[in-house]
Amino acid sequence: MKRAHLILALIGIAVLILAPIGQKNYIIYVLCSWLMFSIAAMGLNLTLGYAGQVSLAQASFIGIGAYITSLLTLAGYHWVFGWLAAMGATFVIGLLLGYPALRVQHHFLAFVTLAFNTIVFLVLRNEEEITGGSFGLVGMPRPEFFGIKTMPQLNFYYFVLVLFVISAFVFWWIVHSPWGRAFKALRENPIRAESLGVDTRRITLLAFAIGSAFGGGAGAIMAPLVQFIEPGSFALIHSLKILLMVVVGGAGFFYGPMLGAAVVIILPEFLRFTEGYYLIIYAFLVIVLMVYSPSGLIGLGSKLMARFRPKQEVRKDMAKGAQL
Amino acid sequence: MTDTVLSIRNISKSFGGIHAVRDVSFDVQKGEVLGLIGPNGSGKSTLFNCVLGQLKPDTGEVRVNDQTVAGMRAAALNKLGVGRTFQQLSVFPQMSVLENIILAGQEHQGTMATRLFGPSDAGLTAEADQMIKFFRLEHLRDEMAGSLSYGQQKLVDAAMAFMAGPSLVLLDEPAGGVNLTMLANLKDRLRAYNREHGTTFVVIEHNMEFVMSLCTRIIVLAEGAIIAEGTPDEIRSNQQVIDAYLGG
């Protein structure tokens, strides 16, 4: 990690540690929600932003993770078992969902994942004996670690922050490893990648599996955060919301999903003073951003920084003259 | 172990009623630079795709380093020691030149697990820098590949094909769209690599000056069949080749 990035990350963590101090429970809840959705968006960013595989099913993986964790914690198991089971199960299901991606791409793949999200929603709603159907599940306990209870909202926030930092580190590690390079190669030119020895089938499946496991991990946080889950929370609209987070933040950029989740979760809260107009203003801001900067907020930042930097020479071959 | 790197035996391939390749056989020896020329539609690309496993021939067999490559995926073929370049630009535009070159070698390092938990450059930065230096791209090392000129990207593409130390490299129209200065540089680098490493090349090319000066042997295809084979001088003076392809 470059020194500047490390300093930026440490400043970010310090800000996140200080952010909830003195805030009311609702604000802390919104911050927890932002961190939780950031983890889910990191997963989609890996699948879509880095590996270029379209997925409209991330909410279903949050749902699977949330239901597994809820069922286990309600049965008396510690949350950690629920978390591990949620991530393991979503990894395997994500791997299976990746198989269609080996045959179909782009909008066809989008429809496959959209159909998967719908199937998961219907299973969660119809299998009442296990999932509670439309009434959902309630009363999931918040975990306790070494005698420290996470029931108080502030404690729970720091618990979520630790999980967020771990997830962000894992995400950073993956995208900066040779795997990350292979994911990008898959996105940019799969035929060339394959010709260089990249097993594009395996990498495609891994992109789905890992991205889905992040979704499952977010779901494991959602269960004790909200303490009530029902199928509607994991319907297609929520997958589109996570897609919006990734696109608005900047797909394929490390900080993209975190910024995107902030826009989708926190910005509407700031716009509440406009009362009935806040969704209109919010939607308008998103449209303007997408028109001006299709690469999201990170792309917008890069554009602005480029204005203050001296113009770079692109065609360096001219300087080398006949040598090239 | 023979010195035959590529062996093509009785390859035929048809698309409907069109016979794209008809009973083609030849061998390519270690260190040889073979040119494959012919007019458009003569079957060069179909033959190339049969060698690369992208097309399954109707009949015949392709062997690389004594192993049959029928049904082999491109990644497995690469692991077997086959590198290639593409007719169209095939770099990864949003990665730096260095990252492009490292990517070209990383899948040959360790296992999936070591590539996840090991160093982010797969221990290849020094080797990649050598390759960059060999292709005289040092000043572009950290530039995004997509921001380079067409000719520079062709050089990066070639450098990527050699990064894994292949025994056979298939070059698909490497001279296409490259200006004369860069073409001379590319030819010089290919020759130097062949001389230093003994790597075998098979080149498809329409630029006659380029192919005649680079290759040690040339095969001419027309209507899917071999019509001539020999040294560049023999091909230049072959009346059948002149009639079918080179012209008066």
What is the mean predicted confidence (pLDDT) over A99-112?
Answer: 89
What counts of helices (H) and strands (E) characterise chain A?
16, 4
Tokens standing for A138? Answer: 């309630």
The residues, any chain, with a CB within 8 Å of residue A211's CB and separated by 6 or more, are A43, A44, A45, A46, A47, A48, A51, A55, A58, A94
β partners of residue B24:
B11
Strands A148-149, A144-145: pairing is: antiparallel
With a CB cutoff of 8 Å and minimum separation 6, the contacts of A312 are none
The predicted structure's pLDDT at residue A305: 85
Say how far residue A181 (Cα) sits from the centre of its chain. Answer: 19
Kindly report, residue by residue over A171-229, the tens digit of the pLDDT. 999 999 999 999 999 999 999 999 999 999 999 999 999 999 999 999 999 999 999 99
Written as one string, the DSSP assignment of A258-302 is: HHHHIIIIIHHHHGGGGGGGHHHHHHHHHHHHHHH-TTHHHHHHH
Would you list the domain boundaries of chain A? 25-236
Distances (CA, A) of B183 to A310, B113, B198, B207: 32, 40, 21, 10
Under 8 Å between Cβ of B13 and B21: yes
pLDDT value for A55: 93
Query: What type of residue is A148?
Result: I
Does the beta-carbon distance from B118 to A314 stay under 8 Å?
no
Place of tokens 């119809």: A126
pLDDT of residue A84: 98
Confidence category of residue B88, pLDDT binned at 50, 70, 90: confident
Is the separation of the CB atoms in A63 and A231 below 8 Å? yes
Condensed to tens digits (0 to 9), the pLDDT of residues B219-246 reads: 999 999 999 999 999 999 998 888 877 6
Residue B52: how many other CB atoms lie within 10 Å: 21
Is the pLDDT at B119 greater than 50? The verdict is yes
Residue B103 distance to chain A (closest CA, Å): 7
pLDDT band at A324 (very low <50, low <70, confident <90, very high): very low
CB atoms within 10 A of CB A14: 10
Residue B19 has pLDDT above 60, yes or no: yes
Q: What angle do CA A267, A269, A270 make, to 5 degrees?
A: 65
Residue of B54, B120, B149 for testing the chain A interface, max A β-carbons within 10 Å: B120
CA-based max dimension of chain B: 61
pLDDT average, residue stretch B78-97: 93
Yes or no, beta carbons of A317 and B152 under 8 Å apart? yes
How far is the alpha carbon of B80 from chain A, nearest alpha carbon, in Å? 9
* Mean of pLDDT values over B121-140: 96
Phi, psi at B221, each rounded to 5°: -105, 145
pTM for this prediction:
0.91
> Is the CA virtual torsion A173, A177, A179, A184 positive or negative?
positive
Residue A317 above 60 pLDDT? Answer: no
Question: Strand, coil or helix: what is B237?
Answer: coil
The answer to whether B212 faces chain A, any CB pair under 8 Å, is no
CA distance B106 to B98: 12
Encoding tokens for residue B96? 């730096």
What is the per-residue pLDDT for A323? 39
The answer to whether residue A318 scores a pLDDT higher than 50 is: no
Nearest CA in chain B to A181: B103
Q: Do A185 and B92 touch (CB under 8 A)?
A: yes
All residues of chain B having their beta carbon less than 8 Å from the beta carbon of residue A317 are 140, 148-149, 151-152, 182
State chain A's maximal CA–CA distance in angstroms.
76
Residues in chain B with CB shorter than 8 Å from the CB of A319 are: 139
Is a pLDDT exceeding 70 seen at residue A1? no
| Contacts with A194 from chain B: Cβ below 8 Å | 73-75, 78
Asked if residue A299 lies in contact with residue A248, where contact means CB atoms within 8 angstroms, the answer is no
At B248 the pLDDT is 55
For residue A55, the cross-strand partners are none
pLDDT at B89: 83
Token pair, residue A207, equals 């992109």
One-letter identity of residue A26:
Y
Residue-wise pLDDT for B44-63, tens only, equals 989 998 988 888 899 999 99
Residue pair A28/A157 in contact by the 8 Å Cβ criterion: yes
Residue A171's contacts (CB-CB under 8 Å, 6 or more residues apart) are A42, A45, A46, A214, A254
A243-297 per-position pLDDT tens digit: 999 999 999 999 999 999 999 999 888 888 887 787 888 888 888 988 888 889 9
Q: B176: Cβ–Cβ under 8 A, 6 or more apart, which residues?
A: B87, B206, B207
Domains and CATH numbers, chain B: 4-93+165-246 (3.40.50.300)
Mean pLDDT (chain B) is 93
pLDDT tens column, A138-172:
999 999 999 999 999 999 999 999 999 999 999 99
CA-to-CA separations, A55 to A100, A119, A123, in angstroms, rounded: 11, 14, 19
Grade residue A310 by pLDDT with cuts at 50, 70 and 90: low
Query: Among partner residues A192, A252, A317, which is closest to B149 by beta-carbon distance?
Result: A317
* Residues in CB range of B6: below 8 A, 6 or more apart: B27, B28, B51, B62, B63, B64, B168, B200, B202
Strands B33-37 and B217-222, bridge-based pairing: parallel
Q: Is A140 exposed, middle or buried (0-12, 13-18, 19+ CB in 10 A)?
A: buried
**B4: distance to nearest CA of chain A, Å?**
22
Of A11, A102, A92, A85, the C-alpha closest to A51 is A102
Cβ(B185)–Cβ(B194) under 8 Å?
A: no
Opening angle at CA B165, ends B163 and B171, nearest 5: 75
pLDDT, tens digit (0-9, with 9 covering 90-100), for A15-66: 999 999 999 999 999 999 999 999 999 999 999 999 999 999 999 999 999 9
Note the pLDDT of residue A280.
86
Residue B8 β-bridge partners: B26, B62
Cα distance between residue A169 and residue A10, in whole Å: 12
Cα B185 from Cα A10, distance rounded (Å): 47
